[in-house]
Structure 1
Amino acid sequence: MTSWINVEGKVAIVTGGSRGIGEAIARAIGQSGGKVAIASRKKEGLDGALERLRSAGVEAEAFTCHTGKLDDVRALVASVVERFGKVDVLVNNAATNPHFGPMMTADDAAFDKTIEVNLKGYFYAARAVAQHLVDRGAPGSIINVTSVAGLCAAPLQGIYGMTKAAVVSMTQTLAVELASSRIRVNAIAPGLVDTRFAAAIVHNKDLAERVIGRTPLGRYGAPDEIAGAALYLASDAASFVTGQTLVVDGGMTIA
């Protein structure tokens, strides 16, 4: 019996796919019948992730790409189309958070870097994949990994949270503008997840306990728990879902 939530035959690009949430999403899509192109800035990380994915039975390729650079994004989409023949799904996951501290103390370099990767990068990739889908006359799914930091106040992560709030807005507007082309655009807002990206909180006993203390499930999440949400949004099971932000945070934002 074929699972209702599957992506058989679909080709997905996962940015920030060399570790953590991105790698988990790539593995979930690949093990559910999809083909996966993982992208990241650093080749070393991609090589390790590619080996792990292929060992798990995933048909995958890796591509170096700085998503904040328009030419890199265009080259990424062209390379994936050349390798797999098409793109059906984009998972915008590459992100950065160079400033951990009060917003008032952020310098211009950290501010600009966060905007470049977390916002411009998402927009560049979404636009490139959407144009490819429109040119093919094909339906598709764009999934933006945002954060609960973009849904409420984000002390010590204010610049990061600001970009993630903008991603929610971008998701909603693109969902409306691309609906007539049968392209769905949704977002996932993870809470605290045990990744290297979140190490500043997860490995800080006081900060971690503060977050967990207001999380009804009483723990932080794992990358695979975010991957399930992405798999659903990528699949035809979510064919009537667009413009939404699926919060996966153990209940933190309702507590």
Structure 2
Amino acid sequence: MVEGWGEDGLRALRGALHTQDGVALLAALRRGPVREVLQLAGDGVAGAAAQGLPGAAEMAALFLGALQERGFRGDEELADRFRAATGDAAIPLLRPLAVDLETLAMLLEGDPAESGGRIDLSTGECWPAFTDELGPGSEAEEDDDPERWLYVPALGSRAGYRDMELFIDEVGDAALAGRLRIAIGGRGAFRRFKDVLAGDERSWSRYHRFSDERQRGRARAWLAEEGYCPHITFFVEPSPGSFL
């Protein structure tokens, strides 16, 4: 049984996603528990399954079962994508958009007084609200074009605080869980929580993956509500320099 993700395994996984190499992706997923990277790697696995990559259908079934069991926000939207990729359901009526969920989550969960932004629907790029450069050709009269831009609201940190609470419930070390519960009381909760976890590298890594999964899921759910889904294409053949 695979116990957890090491730095090398995560690096290989992210590398395969970055290079859009389906063969390398499936190989990397054998290096850690898939339940911890469902939102991170899910679109890639669904794409590989849709293209008929050997071994992808089995991995897709594993992902689908784990998503249905876990039930984070955004997991059902990703599960629908797997059902469509394997031919078990109709393709969701969502427009594909090459958006990075991690970047989108940062916009969504920023300070409402300072954050938020927009997505360039022609490229999928996310732009913070306070930026002077919105890409080539973005003249002032085009900045509010609803055919090009999708507004992203800043929803604040409440969901992130809930992530800390849920993570504490999963901590097996009673003493550490107790210190974390004390840390999240009152102002400065996020800083104190991270300070406590900084002394336990393994728990810090677990929290980072847990939080990343939940943030990506919330971004996916928000995107679906707006009528879009992340778009990613994978090569069927391994590319040069694959992370195998």
- Shorter chain as normaliser: what TM range? under 0.3
TM-score, normalised by the number of residues in structure 2: 0.27
TM-score, normalised by the number of residues in structure 1: 0.26
Task: Determine which structure has the larger strand proportion and give its number.
Answer: 1
| Larger Rg belongs to | 2
